Chains A and B, each alone.
Chain A
Amino acid sequence: MFPFIVRRFVHLIPTFLGATLLAFVISQLVPGDYFTQLALQPNIRPETLARMRAQYGLDQHWTVQYIRWMGSIFQGDLGVSFASNQEVTDVISRPIKNSMGLVAMSIVMLWLVAIPAGVYSAVRQYSVGDQVVSAFSYFGLAIPNFFFAQVIVLMLFVLRGFTRDAFGYNEVLLPVAGMTSSGWLQMGFWEKRYDIFLHMLIPAFVVATAGMAGFTRVLRGQMLEYLESDFIRTARAKGLGDRTVTYKHALRPAIIPFIAGIGGILPALIGGAGLVEVVMSWPGITPTFLFAIQRQDIYVVLGLLVVSSLLLMVGNLLSDLLLAVVDPRIRYN
C-alpha cells in the first residue's frame, strides 16, 4: 500500500504542472485583459493603461508570466488579484470556507433523506411510496438548481401574502439572500450560528435535492441487487428479522460505493454549490469565480483552479484508498 501511495503522489506532480499550464494557456487565449474595459473610459489615457499593465506584469510574454507565477506558487503565493489588490489566497479562502459550509450541510441533508428514501424504495418496490420517491427524484434531476432556488424564494413571497392576509404577519419566513442578517455583528455566538443556519436552509436544500435524486436511484438499485442475493436468502432462512436483514446485511454492502466516493466530496466541497450561490447571494466560490472570469481577474481564476485541481487529485487518491479499506476485493500491491 505504501509504495502505491508514494507512486500516486509522484504522479500528482506532472498532472499538477500539466493542469496549471493548460489553465494558464487557456487564460492567455482569451482576448484582452483586466484593463481592456477601462480603455473605453474617455478620461483614461492609453499611457496610464500601459503603466498599469506593466505594474502587474501583463506586458510580459505569457511564458514569462507563467514561470513567475509557478515560482510564486511553490512559495505558497498564488499571485495578486487585480480587482481587489489583495493576495489571491486571501481573496479565495473566505469563499472556499463559505462554500464548504454550504455543501457540507447539503450533504448531511442529502444523506439524511436519500438513504432512508433509497432503502424504502427498494424494500417497497413499485409501491405508491416508491413511485412518489421516484417522481421527486426525477423532479430533482430535471429542474436546474438556480431556477429551483428562485422558485422557492417566490413561494416564500407568496406565503408572505398568505400570512399577511390571514394573520397580519407581513414578514418573509426565511432569508431570501445573503449569509448573515444586518445585525449579525451584534449577535451572540449561538445567535450567529443560528442566523447562518437560517440563511443556509434554502440554498442547502436546493443543492441537496439535485444530489438526492441520483443518490436515491443508485442506492435503490444497489439494494434491490443485494436483497435478491444468496446471502440475504440465507440470512432470512436463519430467521433474522426484516429490519436486521435490510439494514445490517443488505445496506452495508450496498452503501460501499458511496463510502468509497467520500473522497470525491473533497473536490465537491471546493466546487461550491454552483449558480444557486449567485441566485441566493451566498458568498461562495461560484460568484467569486464568475466575477473573476467576467473581469479577467486572471490570478483569482487560476488560484481557484489550482486549489480545485489539488483537492481533486487528493480526493481521488483518498477515494482509491477508502475503496481498498471497505472492499476486501481491492488490494494495491
Chain B
Amino acid sequence: MKRVLLSLAIAALAQVALAEPFVWPSEWTVAEPGEAVSGGTLRTYDISNPRTFNPFVSAESHASRDLLMLQGASLLLLPPDSDEWIPYAAESFEVSEDGTVVDLVLREGIKWSDGTPVTVQDYYFRYLAETDPDVGSNAYDSWFIGEEQIQMEITGERSMRFIFPVPDRTAFPVIGSHFPAPDHILGEIYREGGAEALKQAWGLDVDVSETVWTSPWVPTEFLPDERLIYTRNPYFGEWNVDEAGNPLPYLETYSFELVQDQDAALNLYLAGDIDLFAPRNLDDIGVINVAIQNGDIDATVIENASPVASSQFIVFNWNYASNPFKQELFRSADFRRAMSHLVPREAIVELVYGGAASPMWSNVYQVLEYWVNPDVPKFEYDPEAAAELLAGLGFSRRNSDGWLVNAEGQELGFRIITNAGNNQREQIMQLFADAARDIGVNVEAQTLDFNLLVEQLLSVGEDRPFEAILIGLTGGSRDWPFGVNVIPCGTNLHAWNQDPSGECLSPQETLATNLYFEGRQTLDTEAAREIGYEIQNVLASIQPLIFTVSPSAHYSWLNTVRGEHPAEFINDLVGSREAVLTYKVQ
C-alpha cells in the first residue's frame, strides 16, 4: 500500500514538475526581475459592496466580477502592450482556417483554492450555466451571434473546442476571457437544484471562506459596507511565476475599504490609510500634490494618463415626422457638419476640464489608440465655416430677432437637452449653445432627468420626442471597438435613426452597417483595423453623432507600492498595474 501511495505521490509531483507555469513578462512592470519582494497588504477602496459572490448572478457589467476574480484562470489573456490574445490557462490554442473552430488545450497544474484540480469540465459547466436563460447570467448574450449560439465541446481530458456559426471578432474574446466555475461545488448545486438553486448560491450572506476561486487572491473576510479582504491563493503561484521563477502574486493580502463616496476615499488616501487612489479631476490632483509637497504623504501622481473609455456626443433626431422642416434639417449632413464646426472642443477642454481632456473626432474612444483613425474628417471649431454650410442650406439672412431664416422665413433653431446634475455635460451644452447663438442659430439648452432622457433617446418611431441630445456611452472592447447596438441600422443605440422599419436612411449608414459586419468577421486584426478605419471615415463624414471631448484618466499611489506598468502602457483600459506583479516595500 505504501509503495502505491509513494508511486502516486511521485506521479503527482512529476505532473506538477512537468506542468509549465505561465511566466509573467518583466516588460509588463517597471520592476527588474527578482527585485520584487513577497508579502504585505495592498489597501485600496471601492465605492460599493460586491453585488454577489456568485459568478453567474450579475445584472451589471463585469465590475463586481473583476473585483472578485482579480484575474482567475481565464483561457487567454489580453496583454497590456498588445491587442492580441495570448494563451494563459490554455497552454495553447488553434483557430481553424475558416475561423469558425477554436481548439484549446488546458494548462496542467491549475487548482482551485481548495486544492481541487481545475478541469475542462469546470469550463464546460460555466458555459452550460451561462447559456441557460433561466440562470440569467449577464454573459448570456455574448454566447450568441445573432440568433445562433456558439457551441462548446469537451474534446479530451485537457482539450476543448468552441464552434462559431460564423467567424466573429466579438465572440472570440468571450472565449478568451472564459473562466472556469467550480463544477465540484456549484455544478453539483446546478445539477441537483437547477437554475434557481444555482442563483441562490454564494450570495452576499455566504461565508466567503467557503467559496473557491482560481484567482491570485481569494476572498476571506467580508464586512458589508466596510471591508473586503482577499488573501493569497496558495495554488496560484504553482502555475504563475515571474521571470525569476518566483511564485505570484507577491502581495499576501489585498484589502478593499468599502467607502460611501470618493471624498471619503480621498480623505483615507491623504491620511495614508489606503495605498491607491484614482483622482477624479484636477482638484483631486491639486489636493494630493499639496499633501505631497507638505510631506504628509509620499506618493506618485500620473496626470492625464489617457482619455477615458467613454464618449460624449450630440445626436440629432432623424425621426421627427411632426416637424418635417426640422426632420429634413436634422437629416442633412451639411447641417450636422455645421453643428460640429460649432462645438468649441478646445474651449471645452480648457474651461470644463481645466486641460485634462482631449478633443474627440470619431466613434472609437480615444484611449483605443490602435483602432482610432487619425485621419477622419475633422470639423474643427470654425463659426465661419458653419455659417457657410448653413448658407448653403438656405439660411443666409437673419430675422428681426437675429436668428437665421431661410427663404420661406423658417427660423433655424432647436432644443438640446442633457441629463440634469451632470455639471460637465451642462457646461459643454452651454458652450455649444452660445457658439451657435453667436452665428444666429437659436439653440435652447435644457436639462432633464437622466432616465427620461434615456427613454427619449431609446424611443422608436416616426415621431420621436426630442430634437437634440447631449449624452455619452461607455463600454468598449479592444478587440472590436464598435458597439453591436450602435453602428448597425435597427439596433437600439443607433440613436439618430430609430425608424420602426429598422431600415437605414442614408447610404452611409448602409455602408457602415455592412462594414461593421465585415469587420466583425475578420479575425486578422490588421485587416479588421482597416475596416474599422473605413467605418470611422464614413460616419465622421456625415456626423450622425457629433463627438465632443474625452476627459482624462488619472492615477495616484503611495510610493511604498511598486511594480506599476511602464508609463507608456498606463491608460484607462489596462490601468496602472498588473495586480499580481504589484508589491510593497516598507
CA distance A55 to B474 in the complex (A): 25
User: Does chain B have a CB within 8 A of A139?
Assistant: no
- Is B43 a contact partner of A182 (Cβ separation < 8 A)? yes
For A52, list chain B residues within 8 Å (CB): 59, 136
Of the candidates A30, A32, A47, A84, the one whose C-beta lies within 8 Å of that of B204 is: A84
CA distance A84 to B455 in the complex (A): 25
- Is A283 a contact partner of B225 (Cβ separation < 8 A)? yes
Which residues of A, 70-98, contact B by the 8 Å Cβ criterion? Answer: 82-86, 90, 94-95, 98
Which residues of B, 126-175, contact A by the 8 Å Cβ criterion? Answer: 133, 136, 138, 140-142
User: Does chain B have a CB within 8 A of A179?
Assistant: yes
CA distance A296 to B452 in the complex (A): 13
User: Does chain B have a CB within 8 A of A130?
Assistant: no
Which residues of A, 146-186, contact B by the 8 Å Cβ criterion? Answer: 150, 153, 157, 160-161, 164, 170-172, 175-180, 182, 184-185
- Is A85 a contact partner of B485 (Cβ separation < 8 A)? no
For A281, list chain B residues within 8 Å (CB): 259-261, 264-265, 267-268
User: Does chain A have a CB within 8 A of B255?
Assistant: yes
- Is B454 a contact partner of A32 (Cβ separation < 8 A)? yes
For A291, list chain B residues within 8 Å (CB): 48, 260
User: Does chain B have a CB within 8 A of A215?
Assistant: no
Closest beta carbon of chain A to B365's beta carbon, Å: 11
CA distance A36 to B457 in the complex (A): 11
User: Does chain B have a CB within 8 A of A39?
Assistant: yes
- Is A44 a contact partner of B255 (Cβ separation < 8 A)? no
Say whether, besides A37-B454, A178-B268, A182-B257, A42 and B473 are in contact (CB < 8 Å).
Answer: yes
- Is B475 a contact partner of A41 (Cβ separation < 8 A)? yes
Say whether, besides A31-B452, A41-B61, A82-B59, A172 and B257 are in contact (CB < 8 Å).
Answer: no
One of A9-17, A244-252, A272-280, A310-318 at the interface: A272-280
- Is B273 a contact partner of A182 (Cβ separation < 8 A)? yes
Interface range, A side: 35 or more
Of the candidates B133, B258, B296, the one whose C-beta lies within 8 Å of that of A157 is: B296
- Secondary structure call for the B interface: loop
User: Does chain A have a CB within 8 A of B486?
Assistant: yes
- Is B227 a contact partner of A177 (Cβ separation < 8 A)? no
One of B21-29, B49-57, B239-247, B549-557 at the interface: B49-57
Q: Which residue of B lies closest to A153 (CB)?
A: B267
CA distance A44 to B454 in the complex (A): 15
User: Does chain B have a CB within 8 A of A282?
Assistant: yes
CA distance A95 to B258 in the complex (A): 13
User: Does chain B have a CB within 8 A of A333?
Assistant: no
User: Does chain A have a CB within 8 A of B81?
Assistant: no
- Is A287 a contact partner of B141 (Cβ separation < 8 A)? no
User: Does chain B have a CB within 8 A of A40?
Assistant: yes
In the complex, the 8 A-B pairs of residues with the closest C-beta atoms, listed nearest first: A32-B451, A42-B483, A283-B225, A281-B264, A287-B260, A177-B264, A176-B267, A31-B451
29 pairs, CB–CB < 8 Å, chain A vs chain B: A33-B451, A36-B450, A37-B450, A39-B458, A40-B454, A41-B61, A42-B473, A42-B475, A42-B484, A43-B483, A45-B492, A52-B136, A83-B48, A85-B51, A86-B204, A90-B204, A90-B205, A164-B296, A171-B272, A172-B271, A175-B271, A177-B267, A178-B226, A184-B226, A281-B260, A281-B265, A283-B258, A288-B225, A291-B48
4 new A-B contacts, CB < 8 A, other than A177-B273, A185-B221, are A41-B475, A43-B477, A82-B59, A157-B270
